[in-house]
Amino acid sequence: MASLRSIRTRIKSVKNTRQITKAMEMVASAKMRRAQQRVLDTRPYADRIHEILVRMGTRSSFSTHPYFQIKPVKKVGIVLVSTDRGLCGPINSNLFRTILKFMGERPEVEFEFVTIGKKGRDFVRRSGRKLVGVVEGVKDRGPITEILPATQVVIEEFADKGEWQEVWIFYTQFVSIMSQKPMMERILPIKPEHLQPKEGADLTGEYLYEPDDSREILDVLLPRYFETIIFQRVLENFASEYSARMVAMKNATTNAKEVIYGLTLTYNKLRQANITKEISEISSGAEAIQQG
């Protein structure tokens, strides 16, 4: 049986762990709310680009632009958005299972990866797939420029070289504090229906474009639109990461309390047994002295 000293040491150790997990829970909670707000903050910019593209669609056809051309699929690029750190529940493993299922359903297609996050990088390397771009250390409050190396690789492989015929993004969507959902979304080629007017959109009035060449305007706007989509998905993944970490740390704190309660109970029982034993030994000794 464990000694009183070892039990006291373990209780102290678990209490220290509980303090750490409680602090991590509070930090994750604050960061989750901030990440959610950032997703909302990026929407006006994305909505305005979307509005301009919708207006452009009324002046010219998108069908000849590389971002809209549909070709026979031989090679697919995957943008994998994951976390840099662990201790955030099963969100990464759930996302990786979704990717493996997706690839398993298309055995005739070759897949290449661009990863945003260390966990995704490690997954791709373990799976033996080709990794053509890696972005790490993206901050939840960082600017969009932090993900531009990833988007530039995608644009080069899809639009410039024509190596990829499709581009998909995999990330974890924030549903609620207790629920995060692995998501996959085809982002290239852009579906024409994605550039339809949104409900309630006000498209009255006319814009004057400079230069007047629609192709030149699309060459500038479409990469910005594409970058904004990826950036929003990265921020969504941050919100999922922090909510999952908050829940994981809350569960760890609760488990630590239960362990402390059990250890304290064991400690008190052992201490009481030792006291009873000592009293019994003293009584036996006193009785022996009296009889002697």
- The catalytic residues are 88
- The candidate with the shortest Cα–Cα distance to 87, out of 24, 179, 181, is 24
